[in-house]
Amino acid sequence: MTYLLTDHQYGKAETRLVRVIRDAARHELRDLNVTTAMRGAFDDAYLTGDQSAVLPTDTQKNTVYAFAKKHGVASPEAFGLALARHFVHDVAPIDGARIELEEYAWDRAIAGGREHDHTWVRRGPEVRTAAVTVDATGEYVIGGVKDLVLLKSTGSEFAGFLSDEYTTLPETHDRVMATAVIAKWRFSTVDVDWDAVFPVIRAHLIEQFATLQSLALQQTLWHMGTAVLDAVPEICEIRLKAPNKHHFVVDLAPFSMENPNEVFYAADRPYGLIEATIARDDAPPAGDAWKFSAGLA
Ligand SMILES: O=c1[nH]c(=O)c2[nH]c(=O)[nH]c2[nH]1
């Protein structure tokens, strides 16, 4: 029997990095979780144990910290691009680099009625994500957000669905709809003001969720995705994943009480999982943009 090593990549997952800029009394802060993965002809490391082409994952971690000091963290996307370009262009055996970033957002603390200069409050659970791939075919950037937890207490329906002998779900024209959106959007260029577009995309996702009279989470995802593509020409594809966090109306009849959509049991599982990928018809090839490493971003 002959075996083939058909694919491989290696790197340091989840390097936690907090970068503070303290040149002025008002400090700035960025809080990241960075994963690096190297791609190339590292077959010998696996097949014979020869490490001569292997840049240690420890070195990759050090590079993350050194680059944070040297270049700063302008945005997750820009930081990922700087790292990926360095690994591919400056370290000979590396043909491709994949950098995945999570960013945890901090809001300035309010103290004495105004924003504090060096104290923040973690905004959660939402996480901004970025995944950068640089290889011989080009540079690819995917931005994203995950755990964007949204809930609307009306304006959502689910009716007219297919029914068979196992169907018990009642139709509804007024229900709670809640989800924790995972959205990833692929840029067709790296000439982007990353920090300017992120809040625009996020605002469109939220606005569509809020304002659409939703006939299903599927329809909501279509509207969220197309609104982002309409608003940001640099984005050519968006992938959305939405767990349908079911809120069941509690039967209060045993207690002689009506419950017109006021008291709910918020189930954590099982959940419907609704997914969609929406792309422009002229989207450029994705290369390895969607090939994951740790897969957190
Ligand atoms: O928005 C929904 N989409 C579904 O496909 C579905 N299925 C289900 O049981 N409830 C819902 N809700």
Per-residue pLDDT tens for 34-86?
999 999 999 999 999 999 999 999 999 999 999 999 999 999 999 999 999 99
Q: Ligand 1 within 6 A of 217 CB? A: yes
Q: What is the DSSP letter of 12?
A: -
Q: Is the complex ipTM higher than 0.85?
A: yes
Give me the amino acid identity at 183: A
Q: Ligand 1 within 6 A of 216 CB? A: yes
Query: Which residues of the chain are in CATH 3.10.270.10 domains?
Result: 10-136, 148-288
Q: Ligand 1 within 6 A of 20 CB? A: no
pTM of the model: 0.96
User: Measured in angstroms, how far is the CA atom of residue 241 from the centroid of ligand 1?
Assistant: 14
Q: Which CATH class is domain 10-136?
A: alpha beta
- State the pLDDT at residue 209: 98
At 94-145, the pLDDT tens digits run 999 999 999 999 999 999 999 999 999 999 899 999 999 999 999 999 999 9
Strands 28-40 and 94-111: antiparallel
Residue 196 CB partners (closer than 8 Å, separation 6+): none
Active site (annotated) includes residue 27: no
Q: What is the CATH number of domain 148-288?
A: 3.10.270.10
Cα of first residue to Cα of last residue in the chain, in angstroms, is 37
